[in-house]
Amino acid sequence: MSAAATAAELLAVMGSRQLTDDTTVFAGVGVPLLAAALAQQRHAPRLTIVVEGGIIGPQIKPGRLPISTNEMRAGHRALMLPGITDVFLFAQRGFLDYGFVGGAQIDEHGNINTTALGSDYWRPQVRLPGTGGANDITSLCREVIILTAHEKRRFVKRVDFITSPGWIDGDGSRRRAGLLFGGVSRVVTTLGIFGFDPESRRMRIEALHPGVALPTVRDNTGFELLEADKIAVTEPPTAGELTILRALDPERRFLG
């Protein structure tokens, strides 16, 4: 791997490669915003970044990465500064192509839990931050991409609480719930890239990062993964990608 990348750097680079020009991405602060900013600077200059606090089309300034969706440095050279409610109205109208989210738990149908860990909601083992705008993102963006570290405790058969819906139970259940478009298309992790079977909507392995073996992925996943007909190997982060990424976050608040 060129200029050895940390796990967070690998995640940001692989996430950035999922984004294309002339599209919009609803990105949260941290690694999702880093990935979006990297894509904008490297291969998708006409990518429009949307930040939850009510910021559309910013140019993220290197060395000044915002740490909050409501921080005005996130609005550097933005095209629009509407109210926060307007951002979600744009999503409801189908204007946002990609949504970038993470989660404490993810299950085989791409449902995300950021609410509570444990079987008893009122007496959880861990109380998590909650939804923020994540439910809206996964419900309303045309395509959702999950960025997360790949650990067995995160990848569970069924999340303890569905904060943000993926494909729910598969087999058309998302549409029956009233979510008429969108859905989780990919899960980008520190081990590989995963998609979903078009019929069952169960997670499947589509690509592995260099040096990652298939048994390692299965050992770190709490459910049975399907496999694509051909499992690819991703290209490692380049020195150029890492240089831009590290300039965006020189204090390594999110890159570790």
Domains of the chain by start residue, with CATH:
7-248 (3.40.1080.10)
Predicted local distance difference test score (pLDDT) of residue 1:
40
Per-residue pLDDT for 2 more than 70?
no
Predicted local distance difference test score (pLDDT) of residue 29:
83
The first and second tokens of residue 140, run together, are 């309303």
Per-residue pLDDT for 68 more than 90?
no
Is 52 a catalytic site residue?
A: yes
Q: What percent of the chain has pLDDT over 90?
A: 80
Per-residue pLDDT for 201 more than 60?
yes
Per-residue pLDDT for 203 more than 60?
yes
Q: Which of 52, 108, 206, 241 does the annotation list as catalytic? A: 52
Residues 75-109 pLDDT 10s: 889 999 998 899 999 999 999 999 999 889 999 99
Backbone phi, psi, residue 180, to 5°: -85, -10
- What's the whole-number average pLDDT of the chain? 93
| CA–CA gap between residue 50 and residue 80 (Å, rounded) | 10
Residues 3-17 pLDDT 10s: 588 999 999 999 999
Kindly state the helix (H) or strand (E) to which residue 207 belongs, with its residue range.
Answer: strand 203-208
Predicted local distance difference test score (pLDDT) of residue 3:
55
Predicted local distance difference test score (pLDDT) of residue 74:
85
